[in-house]
Amino acid sequence: METEEFANQFFKKLMGEYDHQQYSHSGIDGHRVANRLAELSRIGLTPEGGSSRMGFSKEEREAKELVKSWMKEAGLSVREDGAGNVFGRLEGKVKGEAAVLSGSHVDSVPNGGHFDGPLGVLAALEVVEAWRETGFVPNKPYEVVIFTDEEGSRFNGGLLGSEAMIGEIDREHMLKLVDVYGNSFEQVLTEYGLSVDHFFTSERVLSEVAAFVEVHIEQGKRLEKEDLPVGIVTGIAGPCWMEISFIGEAGHAGNTPMDDRADALIAASRFVSKVEELPSVVSPSAVATVGRLHVYPNGVNVIPGKVTLTVDIRDIHEETRDELVEKIVLLGEQVAAERGVSVEMNEKTRIMPVPVSEEMQRKGKAAVEKLGYRPYYLPSGAGHDAMIVGRKVPAAMLFTRSKDGVSHNPKEWSSLNDCVATIHVLKNMVEELVK
């Protein structure tokens, strides 16, 4: 399908579901939001109707340039830092005040959807458009931000733009990176129109940032089950990835009696089945997932001698996440002892979770209630730029209902009604923050 035809159909689908009378008010225009989502959908359109805008790609650059043009039309002063992060700034009435930031990203996973990232950017920009139409001028500066390479498809990492902004980039590590095409980090930056030296000078004076609020699709089904358009995020989970190997003894499947085996796969199976029971013991927001498993030697007629698996352990609170890690480690040791095999455990990564402060949650609650919606609180199991920025400044997130919980997929969908409802909540919340 041609990009123009797709964008037209995408726009018509958004508008066909839209209740203009209920949602287009207070300066917020659903037609404008739909048109901009559709325009962005053209960039990096895949044959399956998805989005492919890898970080540091010409498609991500094109999307940024388009949004920059809209920022300028809205009267914002626009700048781009050395990491490619874009900031559209509206000055406040009071000089010297720290700015309130809102936004997200425009890069995508390969063959992803059209809401993950762009909705947060366009929501932040629509607040400015609404203020222009209603004559509202904030006391504090307000900035719409587009962060670079949130998804991490280029270097199998992600969140590089927000990490650069808060000064948490390891130069030595970054310069060793090679992308999925075999290109060096420096080469990728150069082709993108940036330079290594400028990239590592992107750290912002964070005393100049009062708060950050990010709108994002939920990527889950909780809001859909509650029949609510928008939710208040309580925290962003930090993952700990454990690689665990159960080591037994390979043997002939026919000639080794059942009572004389050290079957590594049986041990791994016992472990996997019990992991599911542990998260609820420590926290209602904790999760643990065995997502990858390798069996050696992986023969039809060979007793497995070794099984290596990964456990992804997450929670929005560091204490309970780490408690869950300890319980999973203890479980591995217990299962190995019971089954007469040995076990090796290696921690691959541990990222600090970022809970949203009670004060920011209260502001979200007030913004939701002002519109007559029932406040609903939910954790974010996925990482977002707000997780990075929230390490240094007050941060909050608002989630928009996702149809069937689908994300990172061409079928990703949030109704325009839900998108615009979330923008109204964002506007209410930001107006309190910029007072």
CA-to-CA distance for 418 and 155, rounded, in angstroms? Answer: 33
Per-domain boundaries in the chain: 3-237+353-433, 246-350
Q: What is the pLDDT of residues 63-121, one digit of tens each?
A: 999 999 999 999 999 999 999 999 999 999 999 999 999 999 999 999 999 999 999 99
Give me the torsion for CA of 305, 308, 309, 310, rounded to 10°.
160
| Residue 83, pLDDT score | 97
Range 39-49 average pLDDT: 97
Q: What is the pLDDT of residues 209-259, one digit of tens each?
A: 999 999 999 999 999 999 999 999 999 998 999 999 999 999 999 999 999
pLDDT digits (tens, 9 = 90+) for 244-302: 999 999 999 999 999 999 999 999 999 999 999 999 999 999 999 999 999 999 999 99
DSSP state of 374: P
Task: Using pLDDT thresholds of 50, 70 and 90, give the confidence band for residue 1.
Answer: low
pLDDT tens for each residue of 366-410 = 999 999 999 999 999 888 999 999 999 999 999 999 999 999 999
For 268, 307, 310, 331, the CA distances from 344, given in Å and listed in that order, are 12, 10, 12, 12
Mean pLDDT of 421-432: 98
Map residue 265 onto helix, strand or coil: helix
- pLDDT confidence of residue 158: 87
Note whether 264 and 341 are within 8 A (CB): yes
Share above pLDDT 70 across residues of the chain, in percent, rounded to a whole number: 100
Q: Cα–Cα distance between 164 and 80 in angstroms, integer?
A: 13
pLDDT tens column, 4-34: 999 999 999 999 999 999 999 999 999 999 9
Could you list the beta-strand ranges (E) of 4-116: 77-80, 86-90, 99-105
CATH of 3-237+353-433, one of 3.40.50.1100, 3.40.630.10, 3.30.460.80, 3.40.1400.10: 3.40.630.10
- Number of Cβ atoms within 10 Å of the Cβ of 297: 10
CA dihedral for 53, 55, 61, 65, sign (positive or negative): positive
Report the pLDDT value the prediction gives residue 156, as an integer from 0 to 100: 84
CA distance 25 to 58: 36
Structural contact between residues 131 and 124, judged by C-beta atoms closer than 8 angstroms: no
Per-residue DSSP letters for 32-51? HHHHHHHHHHTTTB-TTS-B
Dist. CA 420–CA 23, nearest whole Å: 7
Tokens 């830092």 — which residue? 81
In the predicted model, what is the mean pLDDT of residues 304-321? 96
Q: Give domain 246-350's CATH architecture.
A: 2-Layer Sandwich (3.30)
Q: Percent of the chain scored above 90 by pLDDT?
A: 96
Alpha-carbon distances, residue 262 vs 127, 258, 292, 293 (angstroms): 63, 9, 22, 18
Tell whether pTM > 0.95: no
